[in-house]
Structure 1
């Protein structure tokens, strides 16, 4: 607790620089990263992150000093050049975009390592610390760095705020944006520029190796929590800022711990948490939904089988054993025992000495399922020209998800049929 209080007090100017810089860099990268993810250009961020290294080295070679503004300018130029080369290779050859990204990434990064090695053996005293751009060193941020990188980060956030609607339309429907007269190429150029800037300002904190994680991970994590872009952007910025501050705190409490890698690791943990536990889209939520659907399908299949047994004898209230149900079904029914008890609890079936029988409510529900099954079979044979002996399997799946609106539409298309392709009567709506 005392350590946390000391951190919040931040009497040390360097701690303030590191914390504020980490938050600004993390937030700005996350905001721009949302549009990069939505435009399916996540790998481009990784290519740019590795392509800025030769720019940093060239800026130092030309000036002989580590001026943050000049280093930023040099890295921006080579980052931009990498994107131009990716587009040129993709447009003028048979090489796909992912292959072009891999080529540009490896070539630029290799050149950067070559320049960096040459600088380290040049004997220039000012080169000390230049290798920090590989893995980042947020702890090395000073006042001048904070002003330079902070200004760029604020420029990124302001640009997204002013052009939010245009970027949103560009991310989801560029064809419509072009139709209504928006300068799509210009907007793509600007968004690409912002992506390069976001990468450039982040390399001081996490380095070229981990920068793509700062750009992509918060956006990917936030995407699991919402379907609204505005909320996604705010969530990504909040997650990234929190991890930026937490990374600075870890470095404060344990000076041997680097800030940048800790920011990325905390973001990764937050992303894993989102992937697993996010409502609706998380792995756990999807698993529970699939299990619920499977159980619902089993219950409906039991009702349908009891209806078929009653349909064959004309006695829908007759009781049948589990063995008779399985024989008529000719397919295994998962969790059958639990499903039978659930149906009984809902009042859809009843149990007697002879076995299980449909109640009046169960008969109506079974008629609904059978009706949807036979309507879909008829649709497949009449409109898709599928052989009548090949439609049963497809209908088995689709009958459980057809909505009342689709049922009504099917009836209209089929002109309110009374029999399926096998000349079996289609039950009318109860």
Structure 2
């Protein structure tokens, strides 16, 4: 393990990619929380797809494929797409989700047409713009890392500066107005920061999959906590872990694309959170339900046997498992509970018949008093 970590950190290319993808995961994970809480999950998809024409136009205008130039073009296109969405919803009767879909189709379709134009002009090999569709994290350069660190760091700083405003706007927009905050201004700042979080990762993950890096870590973090600050921290950690994990898997020698692996790693972490998070995990919920049911059966079955004893006026007889199942509201797990009660000396088995012991009779009496019986 130590030798492997030494090899990782001694490999300049791999170290560069890990720094870039982990930084990307931190920024997109932290800022994605606000998109998730504001129920704007589709915003990430619109911005990432809308960035494609901005990337191509930036290349056509400048002739440069420097990360800073292409990211600037992507950011402008992504921001314009959200302005268009807001304009459509404010000036027409088109609903917000429909406006998102229209804008996504318009911008992404335009980007594909421009990309084909570049390819037909024989410039695609020089530009390498097709990598922005699905991502090419393995080619990440030192300049890419600087762009991610610089713009991403600035976005995180602004998030902390406007933390109180973001928090209030995310949970109670009406209260935001009442205390004098401009909801429109806060929305614009949040959207702009989400645009930044998306465009800095387009070369690594691609325009098609980048929206997943905004939403999946936030959705996973929501399973672990109800506190906003802790949710942002967990989402950032999950995003970073997805970036590092996907990069290391992609470097394992199986010739797999790093961008999709990063998204799949994030998805795996989301599934783990969905099942095993302490407060909201489905598996934890099932275990709690099973334990609750077992506790109820532990009390109900001795009470049922006692009731049968009282009805038949006998303490020597017993009842078959079929009779117990027929009278009990629980139809499964009765055999297991009876054997557990037997191990505690509360019931005994004579041939195929089950009956209470004296200890079981006393247990039912005590339990009835404890529960107001």
Using the alignment, how far apart are the partners of 1:175 and 1:303 within structure 2? 55
Q: 2:336 aligns to what?
A: 338
Per-residue deviation at 1:27?
A: 1.1
Measured in 1, the distance between the counterparts of 2:296 and 2:174 equals 40
Displacement of 1:201: 0.7
Change (3 A) 1:345 1:4: closer
Q: Distance in 2 between matches of 1:158 and 1:318?
A: 77
Deviation string for 1:358-386 (max 9, x for gaps)?
634423534676xxxxxxxxxxxxxxxxx
Which residues of 2 match residues 143-292 of structure 1 at below 5 A? 143-252=142-251, 254=253, 256-292=255-291
Secondary structure of 2:39's match? coil
**1:146 Cα shift?**
2.9
- Please state whether the residue corresponding to 1:40 is helix, strand or coil: coil
SS of the residue corresponding to residue 208 of structure 1 reads coil
Aligned equivalents of 2:325, 2:248: Cα separation in 1: 62
> Could you say which residue in structure 2 is the equivalent of 1:77?
76
Q: Secondary structure at the match of 1:109?
A: helix
Once the two structures are superposed, the pairs formed by residues 3-402 of structure 1 within 5 Å of their partners are 4-10=5-11, 12=12, 14-91=13-90, 95-124=94-123, 127-252=126-251, 254=253, 256-302=255-301, 305=304, 321=319, 331=329, 333-342=331-340, 355-356=355-356, 359-363=361-365, 365-366=367-368
Task: Tell which deviates more after alignment, 155-164 or 165-174.
Answer: 165-174
CA distance in 2, matches of 1:273, 1:53: 32
Q: Is the 8 A contact 2:28 2:214 kept in 1?
A: yes
Structure 1: gaps (5+ residues): 370-428
Based on CA coordinates, which of the two structures has the bigger radius of gyration?
A: 1
Q: Output one character per residue of 1:369-427: Cα deviation in whole Å (capped at 9) or x when no partner.
A: 6xxxxxxxxxxxxxxxxxxxxxxxxxxxxxxxxxxxxxxxxxxxxxxxxxxxxxxxxxx
TM-score (normalised: structure 1):
0.73
Whether the aligned pair in 1 keeps the contact of 2:306 and 2:364 (CA below 8 Å) is no
Asked if structure 1 preserves the Cα contact closer than 8 Å seen for 2:216 and 2:267, the reply is: yes
Q: Secondary structure at the match of 1:65?
A: coil
For structure 2, which runs of at least 5 residues remain unmatched after alignment?
Answer: none
* Equivalent residues of 1:316, 1:363 under 8 A apart: no
1:134 offset after TM fit, Å? Answer: 0.6
State whether residues 8 and 15 of structure 2, in contact with CA within 8 Å, keep that contact through their aligned partners in structure 1.
Answer: no
Q: CA deviation at 1:112?
A: 1.0
8 A contact 1:326–1:332 mirrored in 2: yes
CA–CA separation in structure 2 for the residues paired with 1:356 and 1:124: 86
- Partner SS, residue 209 of structure 1: coil
1:156 shift after superposition: 1.6
Say if 1:34 and 1:216, in contact at 8 Å, map to a contact too. yes
Per-residue CA deviation, residues 305-343 of structure 1 (Å, 9 max, x unaligned), is 567668979x899987356655655x5533223334545
Describe the superposition over 1:207-233 as per-residue Cα deviations: whole angstroms up to 9, x where unpaired.
Answer: 101101211222222222333332222
Displacement after TM superposition at 1:154 (Å):
0.7
Task: Find the aligned partners of 1:220 and 1:321 in 2 and give their Cα distance.
Answer: 51
User: Structure 2 length as normaliser, TM-score?
Assistant: 0.82
Residue 46 of structure 1: CA displacement?
1.4
Moved more, 196-205 or 133-142: 133-142
| 8 A Cα contact 1:7 1:252, kept in partner | no
Instruction: Using CA pairs under 8 Å that are at least 6 residues apart, name the structure with larger relative contact order, 1 or 2.
Output: 2
Task: Classify the secondary structure of the residue corresponding to 1:355.
Answer: strand
Partner Cα distance (2:202, 2:135) in 1: 6
